[in-house]
Amino acid sequence: MQAALSSISHGKMLPMNGLFVGISKAGMNALYRMFCATTKRKNMVVFLSRQATQASYDFSELAKQVQGHGWEAVMHLAQVRSKNNTAGSNASGKSGSGMFSYAFHVVRQLKLLATCRMVVLDRYDPVIGLLSFSDEPCIVQIWHAFGAYKKFGHQSIDTLEGHKQETIDTFNIHHNYSWVACSGEDVRAAFSEALNTPIERVIVFNRPEYFELVRLRQELDAQKATGGHSNFNTQSKRVLFAPTLRKSKHSPHPFRKLYEGAPHIEQAINGQITWSFHPLEDGLPAPGNASQLLQDTNLVVTDYSSIAYEAYLLGKPVIFYIPDYESYEESPGINADPVKLCPSLCARTEEELVELVNKTLEDSSQSLAALEAFAGPAFEGAQDASSDLLLTFLPDSV
């Protein structure tokens, strides 16, 4: 069962996986039905993530909110193995590996699914897709990223960075969601398509991280105004290079090439560079909230990462280094196009990148204004959106 489920981590089906998945699906559904017949549901919310070993900030804060309503909150986390991943975790979030460890994790997940009234996901979960549910539990996908910069999920089928249609169909990827939460009205259509959910079931919902980033922005602005943060000193500018996750080894990776020539680029830029590649590329757990690196930096350089939206909320200027723009338009595709929305923030060559970075480090006011056109629409309606999990998705039960 682990072989079938974990192979989805890198979007390829091993030989006989269709048979393996079919057997796993039948077995899981039989076990789930048995748990449903022998278990009474209770006021409990289960938080699921297959690529994290610790609860994210969103999960932790939503759990407190749920408990405030008198409900029970349970974290069920596991970092699923992939080709580049040697770590895993059991139900408590501790390291674990092997078929038996993951099989035990799945069995416990089935038991929890038969017991709870709500499930909250922040990523795709293979067990959710393969089960046949009745009316309960309510399954809420809050997704882990703001906005809808690049295409994902069902938007990127049969591209290098996406899943094959055969894999989508075999694993029922992004299936069974009762509700999908997104950051703003402008991205509802993209989330509906990507997560295979009717648009009337996609609503604007403020994740706790949204409020935390807004709060941190206020703190950083106050520190900047009083000179209380050393990173605002003109002699200690910091630049964070943070590209998106590249799932396919065949996809171009311009930031890796930049990193290989780091001494050259670091000498040309009038600031201290920090490199931050996506942890899943190295088999590490997925990040659960905005990192300290992002909070401490003066400028973010990315390609197609949703870190651009986090930087926007923090009031950090962003530069898009996209020499592979044409190929990325094809795989996985782009929803919010920076070339069209904020061309003054885009660099296509190393020379353009160096010039733009140094210019922005001297004066970021124009860059911040340009970033508004790109990131602002992703949070349209956020000010008036709900932030209470149970009151939003199960209002009659509270």
Say if residue 138's pLDDT is above 80. yes
Say if residue 93's pLDDT is above 50. no
Say if residue 231's pLDDT is above 60. no
What number is the average pLDDT over the span 93-120?
A: 82
pTM score, whole prediction: 0.89
Residue 27: partners with Cβ closer than 8 Å, 6 or more residues away: 1
What would you report as the CA-atom Rg of the chain, rounded to the nearest whole angstrom?
Answer: 22
**Whose structure tokens read 């039905």?**
33
pLDDT the model gives residue 91: 39
pLDDT band at 396 (very low <50, low <70, confident <90, very high): confident
Amino acid at 391: L
pLDDT the model gives residue 292: 85
Phi first, then psi: give them for residue 169, nearest 5 degrees: -70, -40
The top-scoring range by mean pLDDT among 36-45, 233-242, 262-271 is 36-45
- List the CATH code of the domain at 211-382: 3.40.50.12580
Q: Which helix (H) or strand (E) holds 255?
A: helix 254-260
- Among 120-124, 234-238, 268-272, 333-337, the minimum mean pLDDT is found in 234-238
Q: Each residue of 150-200: pLDDT tens digit?
A: 999 999 999 999 999 999 999 999 999 999 999 999 999 999 999 999 999
Count Cα neighbours of 220 within 13 Å in the Cβ-side half-sphere.
Answer: 20
Say if residue 279's pLDDT is above 80. no
pLDDT band at 223 (very low <50, low <70, confident <90, very high): confident
Say if residue 355's pLDDT is above 50. yes
Where are the domain boundaries for CATH 3.40.50.12580 in the chain? 211-382
Q: What percent of the chain has pLDDT above 70?
A: 86
Class (C level, CATH) for 2-208+385-397: alpha beta
E strands within 189-342? 202-204, 238-241, 272-275, 299-302, 318-321
Give the tokens for residue 61. 């804060």
Cβ burial of 327 (10 Å; 0-12, 13-18, 19+) is exposed
Residue 228: partners with Cβ closer than 8 Å, 6 or more residues away: 222
Other C-beta atoms lying within 10 Å of the C-beta of residue 12: 13
Rounded Cα gap, residues 180 and 17, in angstroms: 29
Q: Which of 203, 214, 54, 100 is CA-nearest to residue 143? A: 203
Cα–chain center distance at 376: 19
The top-scoring range by mean pLDDT among 50-64, 86-100, 251-265, 358-372 is 358-372
Question: 300 pairs with which residues across the strands?
Answer: 240, 318
Q: Each residue of 37-71: pLDDT tens digit?
A: 999 999 999 999 987 888 999 999 999 999 999 99
